[in-house]
Structure 1
Amino acid sequence: MESAVLDFESDYFTLFKLQEGVYSAIAKNHTITGANAGFFDLGDYVIVFDTMSAPKATQDLIKGAKFCCKKEIRLVINSHFHGDHIYGNHAISPSIPIIGTHDTVKMINEHTFENLANYQKNARKEIKKLDNQLKTESNPAVLFEINSDLDFLLTISEHGFNLRLPDLIFQKELTIHGSKRSVQIIDVGAAHSISDTIAYLPNDNICFMGDLLFENVDPSWVDKKSVMPFAVNPKNHLKVLKKYSDLNIKYAIPGHGKLSPSPIVFKSNIEFLRLKYPDAFS
């Protein structure tokens, strides 16, 4: 079946049905809060992949999962340690385990908490700046992004906001078999980040790739030092992309950007890596 946009209202994402029981949440905003996520029904329960950055977006994601699957969430996967994919852990019930790798937990402790503290420290100044922008901005798309960033900053500034760590640690690969489908939760090692986890659904040939894939990469970005995407291990990143490209994945859900035909997204990301890191492939 072709993917279908669902009639589910969220300020943060558009919900797509990829296959019966498999859904992607594609972010509407591409600033602070603009990471993608998704969820799938194993048969008896639902697994969520990534929690986005704004806890209110995560609350919508939870509602979307219950709306689509009519079942409880029993597990959440964190793809890597970057805050735009895991700040939403705050909104996950303590009764629902979050799974990640040892290195992801290590990097959250060493870096993500510090980044969050910096956001919180500068939140008042940034909120004031965004409030001033609201007074003069008229473009609806820009207004939407300003309001999304304001919502994020106000939320993380609330008393009692805390970033929850993964509490289930796996090594290399974990396969979970459900009555409807199986999922392979795979640590591909250092690629985009120091540890990247994907969720591959072999029965459906669908893969949630996290930030191993960006939909809207452009070769012209190569000379821009600060631009995303980047790779801490370009060789392994390329190896992983080539491996899953060769599987002719039906849907490869990127960490950022729109849902697009998988061959096109894989090709553009592979080309980008080769251009951005030529020394790694010489």
Structure 2
Amino acid sequence: MQKLVEETDYFILYSLAEGVYAAISKPGQGAWSNAGIVDLGEELVVFDSMSTPSAGRDLKTCAEKITGKKVKYLVNSHYHGDHVFGNQAFYDSTLISTSVTRYLIQKKNIIDDVSKEKQEMEDYLDALKVKIQTLDESSIKSSLENQYNEMSKVLEDLPHLKVVLPEVHFEDILILEGTKRRAELHCNGGGHTPSDTFMYLPLDNIVFMSDLVAEGLHLPLYNPEDFKSILEKVKQLDIDTLIPGHGEIGGKDKLHTFADYVSMISDRSQEAVRNKVPLDLFISSFKTPEEFSKWEGTKGIKGNLTTAYTFYADDN
């Protein structure tokens, strides 16, 4: 059973089992995504580093304070900045990711000109503020407001941000074995990005899913077929507690809900492609199922419908 351990400006830390903790981000405060802390026995693992150096430092400080150990390993689940921009706080730890994720962090996130990046981010935030003021759809408006707040926190930390790359790479699975427990890092391809890692603790029946599962959020899809396959494999694991990349701690029901969502997007998109329904008509006439109608996301459900439709259309 989860127990509140500590609260910072960026996240709330919960104990899930002896030596296992989940850091659940506070909306709009600079953490943006959830993270995990796992005591293996002699060594300490942190899963994802949040979206700013400041949040990353708080995460590392909490991890080392509550366990009395130095962080040995930091795992990057995928390349998105809200999960890796805190990496520099773990300068004295060993950073781990798949080789694809490492490549994408370097390709997508390296900042060559800070002043130019700062100006572009300020322009983006100004445009976002105008867009928010003109929107009526509450779920998208709420998502954009959170995006604005989170990106503003990234902007504050931008002058101090250093993108740190993982130095240890794996492909399909990496086992971190300790005297108390083992942590299994699994990558079964890419659903949300080209390469997505989740962390499974078989002794505790706990899984940290990162952005392979979210709560009430239209997470962007990268490859709907791989996404479905990954989630089907995770369903075979013994899981009592699941920590999504965004949202609250829960159980396996969160996995099933998100898997249903991905399958629905996939099935409806394939049907439209088979029936040669034009993309614009498919999107404009789509009726969101009630169970997903209140989900948030900066592009709503339309972004994922477009991605999936294009994926299957290109495959024909």
TM-score bracket, normalised by the shorter chain, equals 0.7 to 0.9
Count of residues paired in the alignment: 257
- CA 1:61 to 1:80, structure 2 compared with 1: closer, same or farther past 3 Å? same
Distance 1:116 1:196, change over 3 A: farther
| Mapped pair 1:78 → 2:76 | yes
Change (3 A) 1:277 1:115: farther
- Quote the offset at 1:157 in angstroms: 2.7
Aligned with residue 270 of structure 1, among 259, 279, 288: 259
Deviations 1:10-44 (A, max 9, x none): 11111010000000001111587411111100001
SS in 2 for 1:156: helix
Gaps of 5+ in 1: 132-141, 218-227
For the Cα contact (< 8 Å) 2:30–2:153, is it kept in 1?
no
The CA deviation string for residues 66-111 of structure 1, in whole angstroms up to 9 with x for no partner, is 1221111101000001111001112222x31100111111212222
Greater fraction helix: 2
**Alignment check: 8 A CA contact 1:213 1:266 kept:** yes
Structure-1 residue corresponding to 2:60: 62
Distance in structure 2 (CA, Å) of the matches to 1:152 and 1:233: 28
- Look up the match of 1:3: 2
Partners of 1:83 and 1:203 lie apart in 2 by: 30
Query: Which residue number in structure 2 is paired with residue 139 of structure 1?
Result: none
In 2, Cα distance between equivalents of 1:258 and 1:53: 18
Matched, 1:231 2:234: no
| Alignment equivalent of 1:110, drawn from 89, 104, 107 | 107
Instruction: Quote the residue 2:158 is aligned against.
Output: 156
Report Cα offsets for 1:173-229 as digits up to 9, x if no partner: 111210100111112212211001111111111111110000224xxxxxxxxxx31
> Given that residues 208 and 254 in structure 1 are in contact (C-alpha distance below 8 angstroms), is that contact kept between their aligned partners in structure 2?
yes
2:248 paired residue among 227, 233, 258: 258
SS at 1:68 equivalent: helix
Q: Secondary structure at the match of 2:188?
A: strand
Amino acid in structure 1 at the alignment position of 2:47: F
Aligned to 1:198: 198
The 3-state SS of whatever aligns with 1:277 is helix
Alignment of 1:1-282 (within 5 A): 2-6=1-5, 8-29=6-27, 33-93=31-91, 95-113=92-110, 119-125=117-123, 149-158=151-160, 161-217=161-217, 228-263=218-253, 265-278=254-267
- Please give the TM-score of this superposition, normalised by the length of structure 2: 0.73
- Residue 243 of structure 1 deviates from its aligned partner by 2.2
Q: Quote the sequence identity (%).
A: 32
Output one character per residue of 1:111-139: Cα deviation in whole Å (capped at 9) or x when no partner: 233699675332445678999xxxxxxxx
Cα–Cα, structure 1 residues 144 and 188, in superposed 2: closer, same or farther, change >3 Å? closer
Residue pair 2:207, 2:242 contacting (<8 A) in 1 also: yes
Q: Secondary structure at the match of 1:5?
A: strand
Structure 2 residue runs without a partner (length 5+): 130-143, 272-316
Q: Secondary structure at the match of 1:53?
A: coil
Q: Is the 8 A contact 1:31 1:145 kept in 2?
A: no
Report if the CA contact (8 A) 1:188-1:198 is conserved.
no
Question: What is the TM-score when the length of structure 1 is the normalising length?
Answer: 0.81
Distance change in 2, residues 1:152/1:238 (3 Å): same
Question: Secondary structure at the residue paired with 1:268?
Answer: helix
User: What CA distance in whole angstroms lies between the structure 1 residues aligned with 2:191 and 2:145?
Assistant: 34
Which amino acid in structure 2 is aligned with residue 68 of structure 1?
Answer: I
SS in 2 for 1:166: coil
Aligned residues: CA RMSD: 3.0
Change in 2 beyond 3 A, CA 1:5/1:119 = farther
